[in-house]
Amino acid sequence: MRYENPLYMAEEAAVTDAIARGRMQLGISRGSPEPAANGQELFGYTLGEGESWSSVTRERAATFREAIAGTPIARPVHPEQHGGQLLPITPVSPGLENRIWWGAAGFETAEWAGREGMNLLSSTLLLEDDGRPFHIAQREQIRRYLDSYNASGHTTGGQTAVTRSAFPVITDTDDLYFGRRERGDSVGQIEGMRARSGPTYAGSLDELAELFTRDAAMSEADYLLFALPNQLGVEYNEHVMANITKVVKDIGWK
133-151 per-position pLDDT tens digit = 999 999 999 999 999 999 9
Residue 78: pLDDT band with limits 50, 70, 90: confident
Q: How crowded is the C-beta side of 126, counted as CA atoms within 13 Å?
A: 28
Determine phi and psi for 110, rounding to 5 degrees. -65, -40
| pLDDT at site 79 | 83
98-254 folds as TIM Barrel (3.20.20)
- Residue-wise pLDDT for 41-69, tens only, equals 888 888 888 888 888 999 999 999 999 99
Note whether 105 and 125 are within 8 A (CB): yes
| pLDDT at site 192 | 74
Burial 45-61 (b: 16+ CB within 10 A, else e): eeeeeeeeeeebbbebb
Spatial distance between the Cα atoms of 245 and 169, rounded to a whole number of angstroms: 14
Beta carbons within 8 Å of 137's beta carbon, 6+ residues apart: 126, 128, 129, 130, 196
- Number of Cβ atoms within 10 Å of the Cβ of 20: 11
In DSSP notation, 66-93 reads HHHTT---B--SSGGGGTT--B--S---
Q: How many residues does the chain have?
A: 254
- Residue-wise pLDDT for 177-211, tens only, equals 998 766 788 888 777 778 899 989 999 999 999 99
The residues spanned by each domain of the chain are 1-32+41-94, 98-254
Spatial distance between the Cα atoms of 218 and 221, rounded to a whole number of angstroms: 6
The pTM for the full model equals 0.90
Name which of 249, 135, 254, 252 is nearest 201 in CA terms: 135
| pLDDT at site 45 | 83
What one-letter code names the amino acid at 249? K
Name which of 149, 120, 98 is nearest 217 in CA terms: 120
Spatial distance between the Cα atoms of 20 and 28, rounded to a whole number of angstroms: 18
Name which of 49, 48, 50, 42 is nearest 3 in CA terms: 42
